[in-house]
Structures are given as C-alpha cells and as structure tokens.
Structure 1
Amino acid sequence: MDLTARRALLVALSAVAAPSVARAVDHAPRLVSAPEVSLPDDDSLPSGASVRLEFTVSAEGRVQDVVVLEGLRPDLDAAVLEAASRMVFEPAEQGGRAMPARMRFRFRLRAPARSVIPRNPYEGDTADLVVTQGAAPSVPAPTTTAPVTAPVTAPVAAPSGEAESGEATIRTRRQSGAATTFSLRGEELTTVPGTLGEPTRVVASMPGVARTPFGLGFFVVRGASFENTGFFIDGFPVPLLYHFGAGPAVISSRLVGQLDFFPGGYPLQYGRFSAGVISLETRPPPSTRPFLEFSVDVLRASALAVVPFDQGRGSIAFAVRRSYLELIVPLIVDGVSLQYTDYQIRADYRFSARSKLSLFAFGSNDTFSRAAAAGVGQTASEQQSELAYTFHRLIGRWDYGLPGRAQLTLAGTVGVDDTAFTNQVPGQQDQSFASTGFILGERATLRVPTGQHLTTSVGFDALTILFNADLRVPLFNNIGSVPPPAFDPVVLAFSPRITQLSIAGWVEEVLRAGPVEFTAGLRIDRLKYAFVDTTVVDPRAVLRVRLHERVVANLASGFFHQQPPFFNLVPGVQNPRLRPQRSWQTSAGVELNLPGSIETRFTGYFSRMYRLIRNSSDVISTPDGPQRVPIVDDGEGRAYGLEVLVRRRLERGVYGWVSYTLSRSERYVGDGTVVPFNFDQTHVLNVALSWDINSRWRVGGRFQLASGAPRRRVDGAFYDADIDRHRALNPPRVDDGSDTERLPVYHQLDVRVDYRFRWGPWRMSAYLDVINVYFAQNVENWLYQYDYAARTAFPGLPILPALGLTGEY
C-alpha cells in the first residue's frame, strides 16, 4: 500500500459465546455512529489483526471505562481506544428505562480497498451485552448476545492516543515533557459538585492550587502570584480561562477536547509564564448529524448548535452563554455585582485521515464591581472599584500526519484584549486604567519518532502584542518639591503605547528505554518590550522511572521566564526597564496505582523566584534631573510544599478524591527579611465524592478547607493632615511573621444532584448544584472604620443554588 494513501479502521463486532442471560432487556444498545481512524503508516498489519475491548455503554449512550482485554501493540491499541471512545449508542432499555450496559467488542483491523468502502461494516455482527442495575460492573457478569446495527459513518476521528468521553477528552497517558499531568474523564469532569457541570472548574480542586477570593477565575499555583500561571487555548495565551464568580470556562464544554493542568515543570511547547500552565485544547463537535443543546439555570443560560456538511467531513458550531448574576448577587451581598458573556463559532473540515483544518472564533466579557457598603461607623463604604476583561480571538489550525508517524501542526491567531479598572475613594481623585491589546501569534510544531526508543519534537512560536492604554494616576512629586494638598492632587492623564514581542524556538528529546523515560530540552526566547531587548534560555529535564508495575518515581527541574505585565512598563509612571521574571522549579514525587481503582500521588516541590517586582523609593539620575523609580525588579521569593492526591477512578458509578497541599510561599523584603506571600495558604484540603445511584440519579458533594491568607496587622492609626485622612499603623516586617495575622479559616460544602430522563427525542438532565450549601460566612478581607478603631468582615460568596435543566437533541 502506498504510504501516502489513507488507512481506515473498519469496526467489526464479533460475537463471544454467552453462558446465560443476566436480565431480560427490552432493547439492546444500538450503535448510532463510530468514526474512522488513521492507522500508522506501515505494511506490517497482521492478517486477522484485532483488538478486544470491554467497556460500559452508559444510560446516556456514551462509552466509558474502556479496558483492553487483548491488544496488538501500543500504537494500534491507542488508535482502537480512540475509535471506541468516540462511538455513540442508543442505550439499553428495560421497562422503558435507560440502563447502563457492559459490552465486549472485538475490533478487526484491516486496510480497505481504495475504491470500495462497505456500506455498513457493522450490520449482522453481534456483541456481548451485560445489563446491570445502576452502574455497570468492572468485571463481566452473565451475558446475553444481542444483534447490533449501525448506519454509515463519516471519518471524524483523529490519529492520537487519547481517549474521549461525551464531554471532554482527557489524556490516558501523561504528556511527554511534564513531570505530572492530572487526568480526569467523562463524568468526573461534568458532575463534580460546585463546578456547575464545567470540566475546567475541576482544576480548583487539584493539589497545589490555593483558593482565590470570590472564585474570580485566577489561580495561585504552588505559591506563585496569580499572573504567573498561564491560560492557553489551542496553544495561545488568553487573559482568562474561567469566568468570574466561580463561573464556567469561557468556551462551551462541548468544544473542550482536552484539559491539561501543569502545576509546575510544564512542557517546552509552552512558555512566557514563570509558574504553572492550564492548557485547554478544543475539538470538533459531534458531526454525524445536526445537534442541539441547551442549558438553563438560575445563574445563566447557554445554547449550542452543530450543523454537519459534506457527509460529516465538516461541521459548523455556534455557542453562546449569558449570566444574570448581576441581578442575583446584589440581592444577597450588598455592593457586589458580577456578569459574564461568551460566544463561540467553530468550523472544522477533514480533508483526509491525515489532514484536518479548523477555524475557531470566540470571545468573552467579564465584569466585577464592588462597593464597600458594609462596615462599622464611618467605613470606606463609599469606595467603589470595577474590573472588566473582554477579549476576542480567531485561531486557525492545520494538522497533518506525515509518513513515519510524524505529526505537523501549524497554527495562527489574531485577537484583541480590553482591560479596564477604576477605583473611586472619597476625598481622592479617581484612578482608572484601560488598555487595548492587539494580538498576533504563530505556532509550528513537528514531532518525529527518530528511533525505536527516541522521539524528537521541535517547535517555533511568536507572539506580538501592541498595547494602547488610557491612564489617570496621581503624579509623583519631583525630588525636593513641596507636595500639593492631597485633597487637590495633581492627576496625570495620558495614553502610552507599548509593544511586546516574543519569538521562541524549542527542541525536546524523549528517550524511553525499559522502565526509564528521560525528557530533556531547551527553549530560547527573544524578548523585546519597552526599553528591554534580551534573550532568555530555559533548559528543562524530566526523569521518570517505573520501580514496580504499580510504582513510578519522577524528578523534574527547569528554568522559566516571564515578561513583566504591560501596566508595569509605562514610562514616567512605572519602570520600562524591568527585566523578565525568572524561576527555578524542582519537584520529586512518587505515583502508586493501588487495587480497587485507587491511585495515590505524593509530590514535593521547591520554587525559587527571581526579579520579582516590588515597590521602591529609589532615585535615579536622568537628563531631566533626578527621578523616583516607583517599582524595581530585584525582588526574590521562594515556595515549597508537599502535595498529596488519593483518588478513586470512576468505577461502578463511584468516583472521588482527596487532595491536600501543605505549602509555604514567602517573599524577601528590605534587608532580606522573609515575609509570607499575600496569598500564602498553609493548608488546602479538597474532598470530592460522587455516586451514580442508578441510571437516573447521581448525587455528590465536595468540601473545601483552606487556611486564611496573611494580612498586615493594624496596631492603631494616626491623622495625616496632608491627606485629611487617618493612616494605619503597621508593625515593622519581621521573619517570624508576628507582624501579620491570618484571615479566618475558609470552609465550604457544595452538593450536587443529577436526574436524567428522556423527553421524546431529547435526552434531558435536571440538576441542583448548591455552592456553599450551609451558607458559611467566610471572610475575604477586613473593612476598617475611618479611624481604624473597629473593623468588620467583607464576606465571600453566599449560598448559590443553581437549579438547572439541560437538553440534547
């Protein structure tokens, strides 16, 4: 067979003898659709080659818990797993109720004739069927043989080794170049309490992640500041991956193909962030037939429509979502308002089993405003602040499979980011910041198996951002001048422009030899912004050793760089000479796969941070005379801790996990005094459990517990006549932390109940997801009286019950 010709996987279902009938069923599962899959380019496929699988067909017709009973070799098994996970069934029914079923399939692999493809390769074959009450078991029960039929299918699969559920694709193997990748699937992503059914929100329950106030969508990962963790969609950075207020991802979960969370030591294909990475890869929606989906609850409404064309080779999808939190939250918490909106338009076309093209346009708007209306006596109740993010992106991507199992990916993006912040304080001039960033990016990646045990990956990416800003900020006084009265300050209003350019190349080698996998690589970035033009080099390495069939040890180390934020580079107000931030990350861990679908991970990490931005009163000489430098880049910090994850994988309808992080994040100030980071949380605990009671009902809960973040202690106040206000008296910074106090311990319980049913051709699900079910009065900060003689708590999110309904057609 010519190496450039397409190979297809034709699915043939072989009968396996059944000893007895476990339970009579009215209707066996009916195969609705299954994709074609590219196989590796070789002529070594043996005659009669097949892979035998066992999996569960859920009450929703989705394939779950796939197990290889008889395999051929890893690359062929991976292709078969991909095909199996994409199959869609009409579920088994008994007494008018949809039932989960455990089935065994034998996939026969053969290269079809070029000019003839069987009209229906499934017709007339049979498969084992196990019908169980509730969730299907992990081992075969007595079976009955039932005929299975299916219509003609379209080639919609991709050549990869990843498994895909009805909601999202989650890696079945760890990504090379990463020490640790957390991996969840199917119902583990869409039924976690407190996430409102959003797969991407599960990251907040993973080890190494500290909680952030009000669920704003930023993450403090392994003790780094929230801006040091990058959000990526299809390889390109975006300002937000999650909406404010514990909201969903900025794109529909139906378009989420894969979510990778790297708490540290992320692969070389990513860059420009000095802490962790959360990467979201999108996928084509189901394209075998037109598809409609809607979801409505008390917090938001969304809809998605998919229209296939050219016999399923291509599809166009439209999605939109709008929250109405701005109508609800102010009724519960005075002075707080939230709102978000997003949209997506996606077009996909598969030219062949090797070549596919996608265009993806999406955008999001988030607004958070706060008026400190609660307080004691004359508090700062008139203070108002507002933060708004809006962004739009268009991403084009072409994937092409080359001979020899090589893979080429080319992608580009254009977009715009709008950020606005305002702060109004009584007796002071309003401060505001608004910026618009125009984005242009390109990426190219080539992965080539270069030997029996070696894989080489090379890549190039470039990102250009042109920022235009409008600022209103207080003017710094000239050295030796008399400051104006604070009640009549001089405010500087201007519109700076700054361009940030980054061009990077990287190479990575992965060596797999027996129980050892060693990954080493190098990334080089040329960075040009404001008054800085520099080159940074990031070497990274990961070693994984399988000590036992159930035990894997790992060790990772590397350097990471990040450009300063745009608003810190504005000449005349900030410092345009700030150097890139740098971190050195090291981690070591062990992974245990225990009986009963239990996996346990222990990871210790240490991160050293350099060139952190800090406030300064330094003075420098300039042609215009001495000037103050309000911020400098000589700050340093460190973070270290232990992460523990004990997880039960989804089996027999039950899944859950316990994640715990013991950590310390510190910064160096002044003469080397070590103080806790503003978001340092010594203990963070997450416990999640969900149980599929039967084919209709699922219940679950999630409990969160976290130490309070540190705040500077207030020992009193003095009156400042220059500004006609009282100022807080804070103790000097000391190493033992006695100059700070912690906010109260944070705790919250979330509960979720799902009920699945059918309404004509619609597959429906009603759910109740209650965030903070016992209305814990958590403290996000303190509000002080005007003279600091008394204070009151600024509360966190209240109880948020989301009663909703989803439908699929």
Structure 2
Amino acid sequence: MKRSTTFLFLSSTIVTFATASQAEEIELDKVTTQAPAVTESQPETRKLLVVPGAGNDPLRALESLPGVVFGKGNDARPAVRGSSPDDNAYYLDFLPVGYLFHNDGSSILSDSLTDEFQLYPAAFGPEFNGATGAVITAESRSPLRDSQQIIDLSLLRAGFLIDQPVSDDQGFYLSGRMSLFQYYLENIVDSDDFEFTTVPEFYDYQGSYEYRPSDLTSVRFQFVGARDKAGLDFTEESDFTAQDPALTGGLEAQQMFNSQGVVIDSVSPSGLSSRIGISHLEQAFDFTLGEGNYIDANSHRYGIRSEFSYPLGLDHEVSWGLEYSERLVDYRGLFKAPPCDEFTADCRLVRATETLQGSGTLRIRQTDLFIKDTWSVTARWQLIPGLHLSDDSYTGNQYVEPRISQGYQLTDALRWTLGYGRYHSMPANPGQYTPEFGNPDLDETRATHYVTGLEAQLRDGLMLTTELYYKDITDIIVARPSDTSDGVRYNNDASGRAFGIEMLLNADFSERWYGWTSVTLSRTERSNDRTGEDFRYSYDQPLVINMVASYRASDIWTLGLKWRYQSGQLVTPLEGAEEDPDTAGLYNPIYGDPFSERLPSYHRLDFRADRSFRFSNADMDLYFEVINLYARENVVGYRYLNADYSEREDVTDLPPLASVGVRLLF
C-alpha cells in the first residue's frame, strides 16, 4: 500500500466564502480555560510559547491543552470541545480580527509580541459574542517597555520586529513576517496529480503606537493584516480530474485582511474603568476552480466595542458594555456546484444540477449589550451572573441570553466551579445565506453550555483541575439536494451535542522543572433532522492525552518534550463505486454511514532544545525542534485512486522533521 505525506488535502471541492471569525477577568500572564472564575491551574503564557512541536507559535500551543483538537491538512484550526473551528470567536487586543491561521496551519501572531492569550472553551462570560464554540483572545505587549530589534529566522518563515519607545509616555512597534517554504516546496512535493501554479505562501504584519497621557489613561493605535495565496493545476493523469472532470483547469485561491483600530483604556478617580475600541476590518477572498467557476467577495466591517467596570464595594463589581458593527459584503460569482456541508461525503462539482450566478451587497448590522455582576458573596463564594442582549438586522432575530458562573472554596485546597450560558452565531460562510447561492432566511446557530469542575491544590506547585461539560447545539446549517421542489439549498435542520470530562495536572515545582499532563474523555454527536440520521461528528475523538515536560539544564540550555495521543479521526467510508449511466468513464462513489469509520490512533513525540548566547551588543536565541521523534506513521485520511476508486492509499501526517530557528535581539 502506498503512503503519502499530507501537504494539500483536496478532499472537498465545495466553494465557500472566507469570512471573519469572531472571540472574567484573569490574572496577567496566565492562560485560562476556566470561564467561571480566576484559576491558578493553567500553564503560563511564556511556557506555552515554547511547547515542543509548536514552532514558537502561540496558538499552535493550544493543542497541548485539554479539549482542543486541530484539524489536519488545510483545515488546521482549533476545534474545542466538540465544536467546529468555524464556531470560535477570535479577538486580538480587544478587537475582532479577520482570520488567525495561515494556509499552513500556523497563526498570524508573533510570539515576540504576544503578552498573554486565553482560551475560553465553554460557558464564557456575556462580554463575548459571535461564538457557539470557544473564544480565543490575545493581548500584545506594550511598546513602552524597552527598545529592541529582533530578526527571527527559521526553515519555515522569516520575520523582523522593531520595538522603540519614543519618550516616557509614547512608543511604537512594527512586526512583519513571511513564509519561506514557497522557495523550496516544489523540490519537496512530487505529485503525479498536480503542479503548483502559485506556490503556497503567506505574509502578515502587526503594528502599534501607544500614548499614555497619564498613569490612568492609555491610547493605542493598532493595525494588523495578513495575506495567503496558493494555486495548482491538475495534470492529465490526475485522479482528481478522473473522478471529477469539472476540476479541469485547477484552482487559485487568495485571501487577505487589513484591520485598523484605536483602543482607549482609562481609570477615573471614582474607580470607573473603561475600555473603548473603534475598528475597521477589510477582507477579500478570490477563488477560481475548474473552468469558469469563480467567487470574488470582499467586505468592510466598521465597529465600536466598549467595556465598563465600576466597583460597588471591596467585594462587588458591576460591568457592562456595548458593541455595534455594520458590515458590507460585496460578492459576485458563477458556480456550478451541488449544495454541500461538513456532513456531505460526495461534494464533486460534477454532481451539480444547476449553474448559480449572481452579485450583490449584503448589509449586516449587529448590536450587542451585556451586563455582568462579579460578587464575592462570602469569603469563599464568588458569583458572576450576567446577561447578553443581541439584535441582528439581517436575520431579524433578537436574543436574550443569560450567562452565569460561580466559584466556591470548599476547603483551602479545593475549589468548585460551575458555569452556564446561551450563545448564538451567524454562519461563517456568507455563501450559505446570499440569495443567489444559499438561503437568505437562514437563522443563527444556537448553543447552550453547561460546565462544572473541581480545582485541587495537591501540594505546592502541583494542581489538579477536573471539569465536566455538556454542549447542546441547535439550528446547525445542513445542505439540501439542489433538485428539491422549493429550491432551498440550505436550512437549519441539524443539531448536535458534545459532552465529556477533562483533567489537567499542572506541575510548577521550580524555574528549572515544570510540565503538565491533560486527559480528555469525550463524545461528540450530530443529527440531521431532515433525514433522521444520527452519527458521531468528524471531530469526535473519545480520548486525548497530552504530556509536556521542560527542564532548564543551565542558564543557557532548556530541553523539552511533548507527547500527544488521540483517538483516530472519524471518516465516512467508501464502500464502492458504480459507473455513471449518462457519462462514460465516470464513476460515482458509494459511501457508507457518515463518520462511521475511525482511523488508527494518532500519537507522536516532539522534542525541543533552546540555547541562549550573549554578546556585547546583541543576544541570540537558538532553538532546535524534532517533530515526530520516533517516526510514527500517523494516518490522517484516505485517498482513493483511479477513476473507479479501485485503490486506496493512506494520507499520513508529518514524518520525522527537524527544524532550526534563530532569533537575534539588538
């Protein structure tokens, strides 16, 4: 049996519109996965930034935390506690961003600028909106700290950072990065099926200018953006075009975003604190596939977001805020494709029965209000009730969503947490609700979260956190056959649920030794209410184990290991193929029940070594990583060969791969 290494995974040929992914106060420099209250059980941000196998990527390090599973191939984004990656919301420095992950699965965030990032996997507070899965927030460092210039270089990317205080109360930084694999990828990827017309590449940048007119007021101007593009053409011998002739002509894809904003933080003498952000987000997505199929979409989002907090006493604080946004989406396209969703196995363009064409502008206005009361009822009991109100002009829906969390100190070493919340989010793909390509009458997907847990301080430097969760999801979008009598291609006829238990043992004995072990036992299900089908979801992985350890051998050497085990991903099995009665040489695959076959279990060991060098006018940090140290051939999918699907080969994850990176600080 042949095996191949995954780089581009072209199992789906659905055209989608790329859009913005949307995102309790916690102690600084902590990563929290507990919505109910502040917790000391999680690894610090600085430790997650050097997790082996993450390549200094802040968000890739999230995979080492419980409840987080990353997709494979070109869908390498975090799926949290049974939700789709599209169900997450992302915020950078208080403002929404266009997208956080490049086409190679790395994030747009620079570890040199990331001061803190937080994961809220469920039952998050009323200050967040636009997510039924998880919320991920990141905060960048202040440019007023010190002056430095950094050159960052590895086998995968190159970057620079200029960080410069202008005076005691003003400063700026500017960071830029670009991928490098486009310069040698063609020499590594050798395929009989395709050749690159545009070698995958990415660019991103981040900048900020901060002014502090007083000790209690800060004004930050910030801008961030990214661009990704890739293209390929299928060869005459390609199995892709043999199985789907409509792919002839190849594909080209490019997406980008640019965001500008200003955030004002202030604290008044009365104790009122406020944070107000005004932003503009521009996005563009261009996609061509096959002969004549294209989508061209761009959008502009203008918004204001605010949060206010006022202490009613030493043990009582009320918070409230308003967010308003207006989004204009211009689109045009022509496409011959069947309606497809994440549950559809056969999404070949050749199955299309109609040609869709159209152009127009969507105007979407959304208003969100929240109020939250953080109340230490007693010395041991903290209660945080909240309410989120939302109005969406496009769907015409209004939502009143209660959210509440609490933490109770059962003993000096044992804390009980509890959380509940209701949430909603618009479909991530505007193509599903535009009049010409989808259903303009779609509703938002809704979810209800329940969590409860215990945090136990076993001894100094050793904490065990256990949490139970349940998510109930309704109004999930599902595709309908294109030949239905009413012509509706999508509706909200699917639902789902996810439940499980997570355990995290965090050891922080000293600056030399630290690490953590997490175990997740879970189950994720989906139901197609239109067809009556009940099945496990593709992200259902009943067992996930992470073990991370780091040892600082000396002042200049640090060594680390990460081992991960997870149940194999679910796939829809192919049971055969039959020749199409109308097209000679075309075979139609016959699939079994959705997500009824599980791939072999996935596990790998990653290693990392950091070495610091000190010079008179510069410092240098050198890191060396080996991914998949013991050469496990992890199967992440199957690919079927020949026009009649008569052969199957394993698609495998990365083989043993060494990487070296160097950072110069001037």
Q: Does the pair score TM above 0.5?
A: yes
Structure 2 CA distance, aligned partners of 1:296 and 1:605? 41
SS of aligned partner of 1:204: helix
Match of 2:545 among 654, 679, 685: 685
Q: Is the 8 A contact 1:713 1:731 kept in 2?
A: yes
SS of aligned partner of 2:44: coil
1:441 aligns with 2:303: yes
1:349 aligns with 2:215: no
Match of 1:364 among 226, 229, 240: 226
* Change over 3 Å in CA distance of 1:493–1:559 after alignment to 2: same
Cα shift at 1:489: 7.4
Q: Is the 8 A contact 2:607 2:625 kept in 1?
A: yes
Structure 1 CA distance, aligned partners of 2:627 and 2:654? 9
Aligned to 1:453: 315
Aligned to 1:466: 328
Structure 1 residues 707-718: aligned runs within 5 Å: 707-718=567-578
Match of 2:283 among 417, 437, 457: 417
1:575 aligns with 2:439: yes
Structure 2 CA distance, aligned partners of 1:453 and 1:742? 51
Match of 1:776 among 611, 618, 632: 632
Cα shift at 1:360: 0.5
Instruction: Give CA deviations for 1:121-158 in whole Å, capped at 9, x if unaligned.
Output: xxxxxxxxxxxxxxxxxxxxxxxxxxxxxxxxxxxxxx
* Change over 3 Å in CA distance of 1:679–1:261 after alignment to 2: same
Structure 1 CA distance, aligned partners of 2:37 and 2:515? 24
SS of aligned partner of 1:326: helix
Structure 1 residues 717-732: aligned runs within 5 Å: 717-724=577-584, 725-731=586-592
1:601 aligns with 2:442: no
List runs of 5+ in structure 1 lacking aligned partners: 1-159, 164-168, 478-484, 621-625
* Change over 3 Å in CA distance of 1:372–1:366 after alignment to 2: same
Q: Is the 8 A contact 1:460 1:505 kept in 2?
A: yes
Match of 2:384 among 515, 519, 524: 519
* Change over 3 Å in CA distance of 1:721–1:802 after alignment to 2: same
Cα shift at 1:515: 0.6
Aligned to 2:160: 303
Q: Is the 8 A contact 2:244 2:350 kept in 1?
A: no
* Change over 3 Å in CA distance of 1:324–1:216 after alignment to 2: farther
Instruction: Give CA deviations for 1:403-429 in whole Å, capped at 9, x if unaligned.
Output: 2332111111012012234444xxxx5
Match of 1:406 among 272, 281, 289: 272
Deviates more, 1:348-357 or 1:701-710: 701-710
Cα shift at 1:194: 1.0
* Change over 3 Å in CA distance of 1:386–1:315 after alignment to 2: same
* Change over 3 Å in CA distance of 1:381–1:305 after alignment to 2: farther
Q: Is the 8 A contact 1:541 1:556 kept in 2?
A: yes
Cα shift at 1:381: 10
Q: Is the 8 A contact 1:179 1:542 kept in 2?
A: no
SS of aligned partner of 1:194: coil
Aligned to 1:801: 658
Structure 2 CA distance, aligned partners of 1:354 and 1:547? 37
* 2:125 aligned partner, one-letter code: P
Cα shift at 1:330: 4.1
Cα shift at 1:201: 2.5
- More relative contact order, 1 or 2 (CA 8 Å, 6+ apart): 2
1:493 aligns with 2:354: no
1:554 aligns with 2:417: yes
Deviates more, 1:460-469 or 1:644-653: 644-653
Cα shift at 1:400: 0.9
Aligned to 2:117: 259
Structure 2 CA distance, aligned partners of 1:701 and 1:750? 6
1:271 aligns with 2:129: yes
Aligned to 2:10: none
Aligned to 1:389: 255
Structure 2 CA distance, aligned partners of 1:178 and 1:471? 47
* Change over 3 Å in CA distance of 1:716–1:593 after alignment to 2: same
Q: Is the 8 A contact 1:178 1:265 kept in 2?
A: no
Aligned to 1:245: 104
Q: Is the 8 A contact 2:565 2:601 kept in 1?
A: yes
Aligned to 1:482: none
SS of aligned partner of 1:514: coil
Match of 2:367 among 503, 507, 516: 503
Cα shift at 1:207: 0.7
Match of 1:536 among 379, 399, 411: 399
* Change over 3 Å in CA distance of 1:375–1:652 after alignment to 2: farther
Structure 1 residues 76-475: aligned runs within 5 Å: 162-163=27-28, 169-170=29-30, 183-185=42-44, 187-214=46-73, 216-247=75-106, 249-288=107-146, 290-310=147-167, 312-334=168-190, 338-367=200-229, 384-385=250-251, 387-424=253-290, 429=291, 431-474=293-336
Aligned residues: 618
Structure 1 CA distance, aligned partners of 2:422 and 2:54? 33
* 1:555 aligned partner, one-letter code: L
Structure 2 CA distance, aligned partners of 1:333 and 1:703? 27
List runs of 5+ in structure 2 lacking aligned partners: 1-24, 340-348
Q: Is the 8 A contact 2:33 2:120 kept in 1?
A: no
Deviates more, 1:352-361 or 1:226-235: 226-235
Cα shift at 1:497: 1.8
Structure 2 CA distance, aligned partners of 1:498 and 1:790? 45
Structure 2 CA distance, aligned partners of 1:673 and 1:201? 34
Cα shift at 1:433: 2.7
Instruction: Give CA deviations for 1:365-407 in whole Å, capped at 9, x if unaligned.
Output: 1235577889989965996555543111112011111123321
* 2:257 aligned partner, one-letter code: F
SS of aligned partner of 2:447: strand
Instruction: Give CA deviations for 1:555-582 in whole Å, capped at 9, x if unaligned.
Output: 1111001112312111132101001110
SS of aligned partner of 1:628: coil
Cα shift at 1:612: 0.5
* Change over 3 Å in CA distance of 1:794–1:732 after alignment to 2: closer
Structure 1 residues 629-640: aligned runs within 5 Å: 629-640=488-499
Structure 2 CA distance, aligned partners of 1:596 and 1:182? 12
* Change over 3 Å in CA distance of 1:380–1:176 after alignment to 2: closer
Cα shift at 1:596: 4.3
Structure 1 CA distance, aligned partners of 2:537 and 2:39? 25
* Change over 3 Å in CA distance of 1:486–1:300 after alignment to 2: closer
Q: Is the 8 A contact 2:54 2:60 kept in 1?
A: yes
1:696 aligns with 2:565: no
Structure 2 CA distance, aligned partners of 1:338 and 1:602? 41
Structure 1 CA distance, aligned partners of 2:150 and 2:139? 21
* 2:116 aligned partner, one-letter code: Q
* Change over 3 Å in CA distance of 1:715–1:251 after alignment to 2: closer
Structure 2 CA distance, aligned partners of 1:447 and 1:261? 22
Structure 2 CA distance, aligned partners of 1:652 and 1:367? 42
- Quick check: which has more Rg, 1 or 2? 1
* 2:652 aligned partner, one-letter code: P
| Aligned Cα root-mean-square deviation (Å) | 2.9
Structure 1 CA distance, aligned partners of 2:243 and 2:614? 53
Cα shift at 1:794: 2.6
TM-score (norm 1): 0.72
